Amino acid sequence: MLTVSNLSVQFGKRVLFDEVNTVFTQGNCYGIIGANGAGKSTFLKILSGKSEPTSGKVFLEPGKRMSVLEQDHNLFDEYPVLETVLRGNKPLFEVKTKMDALYADYSDENAEKIGELQVEFEEMDGWNAESDAASLLSNLGIHPDLHYNLMKDLDGKQKVRVLLAQALFGNPDVLIMDEPTNDLDYETITWLENFLANYDNCVIVVSHDRHFLDAVCTHISDIDFGKINHYSGNYTFWYESSQLAARQRAQQNKKAEEKKKELQEFIQRFSANVAKSKQATSRKKMIEKLNIEEIKPSSRRYPAIIFEREREAGDQILNVENLKASIDGEVLFDNIDINLAKGDKTVIFSRDSRATTAFYEIISGNLKPEKGDFKWGITTTQSYLPLDNSAYFQSDLSLVDWLRQWAQTNEEREEVYIRGFLGKMLFSGEEALKSANVLSGGEKVRCMLSRMMLMRANVLLLDEPTNHLDLESITAFNNSLKNFKGNILFTTHDHEFAQTVANRVVELTPNGVIDRYSTFEDYMNDKDLKEQRQKMYDGTVNAR
């Protein structure tokens, strides 16, 4: 379907791809993974012809159409919504534009040309195009009232959905998307997961969203050392199987036969779980064909994230009463009562991310509430990963000295100790001497996590902890929180993170709180709750 031959890409001295040969096949969905800066976005741009490789070729089978999810949300601002979607199918849109122009300038000569174009249009199912586009939009929650508005009149969330409809419009043979779930809300991501799981054409997608990768991918394409390798299965399969293979490699006295049997059993268990899950059929069938020969030990390094507690907290954790916050007169939340029990791992959720951030700022003492009160149990200690960590990094301290600020004992203040710590977070050798103010977003978060590990608090506050992190760090972080014995209050866009860590969901609305002991998915998918939540935001019902 899509063939890449002898592809090399180099920027200055840096070689991103070295003689890559690979094929993307009809019916498969490829999840492209690789470290930050490995070249994932560059690769997609080359596949779609937006960038040129240094050498080599990309070849799309003749007669096949490729479509790309647009990254620039404002590119179609001057066009009406429905037309923006129609423009997703270029050949069709061109024929339509020519036809419309000829109609506008009608003559006998033009009539003949129009006739020819009409045949072409017919073959592309053009007469149904507008209604197809409209129903795609409506499925994505863009109401027909908006279809003739200009894109610039939509809000950010709506624009992303229209661009999604544009990419999907006309069933492209190859669909390319770079981090599509980044700007989408839970409902739209769920819709997209279901759509792609049932989509029979070729999809190539870069994502850090493990739930999404697991729901849609038949293959994981790993970019490492300038090459791309495809592995059958979704992300969890790739992660678990490559970890198992790495463990096996270390067990030198174990017989090859035993290792093979262990892998085979792993595959069977995994396939049985996939078959049980509610994943849609066409993709699921692909995942059932997992191959033992493809399993390779991963060369990836995962940061060692382990949260320990200085001491166990008592029964009183946090009590919040009648809390209110607003920004410029707009109420973010009001009438919030919460009583946290020992060991609760709570997702704090709100439609407006400013509400959850204000909540963390208040309970960590950085912001005064407009009304109400909160009280931490006397045996609790908190460490906080704020959404905006820039204040911590306005310093030219080396990372070793930076982290030393939170050391609690003389032993911890020792250079070797701190360096060992930074090493575990993948800052080794020279890296540990970098100055704090030059770090990338992901590096800053890894430093903040090191700081939290040193603090050994028994309550963790995490506002969008996965932002800027790569998949390896997210996976390691997620595992550590599953095992953490203390309390966690966290807010995240990462579905898998929320689903596997939380036992409780607390939603902050302008008209009170909704508080349930539940998994995140059960909470989000509960029909009655959905209705109640809507009313709480609309203000037609009050929780109290």
Ligand X SMILES: Nc1ncnc2c1ncn2[C@@H]1O[C@H](COP(=O)(O)OP(=O)(O)O)[C@@H](O)[C@H]1O
Site string for Mg ion, 38-57 (x = CB under 5 A): --xx----------------
Residues 12-41 that bind Mg ion (CB under 5 A): 40-41
Nearer to ligand X, 36 or 435 (CB): 36
Least CB distance from residue 207 to ligand X, whole Å? 11
Taking CB within 5 to 8 Å according to partner kind, which of ligand X, Mg ion, none is near residue 11?
A: ligand X
Nearer to ligand X, 50 or 371 (CB): 50
Nearer to Mg ion, 80 or 442 (CB): 442
d(CA 3, CA 1) in angstroms, rounded, equals 6
d(CA 491, CA 345) in angstroms, rounded, equals 11
Least CB distance from residue 36 to ligand X, whole Å? 5
Nearer to ligand X, 15 or 543 (CB): 15
Nearer to ligand X, 8 or 316 (CB): 8
Strand duo 487-491 + 345-349: pairing: parallel
Which residues make beta-bridge pairs with 382?
A: 459
- On whether the CB atoms of residues 160 and 184 are closer than 8 A, the answer is yes
Nearer to Mg ion, 70 or 344 (CB): 70
Residues 33-62 that bind ligand X (CB under 6 A): 34, 36-42
Strand duo 55-60 + 227-232: pairing: unpaired
Site string for ligand X, 200-219 (x = CB under 6 A): --------------------
Which residues make beta-bridge pairs with 178?
A: 206
Q: Is the sign of the CA dihedral 278, 280, 283, 286 positive or negative?
A: positive
Least CB distance from residue 41 to Mg ion, whole Å? 3
Least CB distance from residue 40 to Mg ion, whole Å? 5
Taking CB within 5 to 8 Å according to partner kind, which of Mg ion, ligand X, none is near residue 422?
A: none
Residues 11-30 that bind ligand X (CB under 6 A): 11, 16
Smallest Cα–Cα separation from 340: which of 323, 318, 362?
Answer: 318
Angle between helices 156-168 and 186-197 (to 10 degrees): 10
Taking CB within 5 to 8 Å according to partner kind, which of ligand X, Mg ion, none is near residue 126?
A: none
d(CA 447, CA 453) in angstroms, rounded, equals 10
Least CB distance from residue 345 to ligand X, whole Å? 31
Taking CB within 5 to 8 Å according to partner kind, which of Mg ion, ligand X, none is near residue 319?
A: none
Verify binding: residue 435, Mg ion, rule CB under 5 A. Answer: no
d(CA 372, CA 461) in angstroms, rounded, equals 20
66: left (phi over 0), alpha (psi -120 to 50) or beta: beta
d(CA 125, CA 461) in angstroms, rounded, equals 53
Collect all residues with Cβ–Cβ distance below 8 Å to 456 and sequence separation of at least 6. Answer: 307, 308, 309, 310, 381, 408
Residues 80-99 that bind ligand X (CB under 6 A): none
Verify binding: residue 2, ligand X, rule CB under 6 A. Answer: no
Taking CB within 5 to 8 Å according to partner kind, which of ligand X, Mg ion, none is near residue 458?
A: none
407-445 core/surface letters (b: 16 or more CB in 10 A; e: else): eeeeeeeeeebbbebbebbbbeeeebeeebeebeebbbb
Q: Binding-site residue total for ligand X (CB under 6 A)? A: 10
**SS3 label, residue 289:** coil
Taking CB within 5 to 8 Å according to partner kind, which of ligand X, Mg ion, none is near residue 197?
A: none
Q: Which residues bind Mg ion (CB under 5 A)?
A: 40-41
Q: Which residues bind ligand X (CB under 6 A)?
A: 11, 16, 34, 36-42
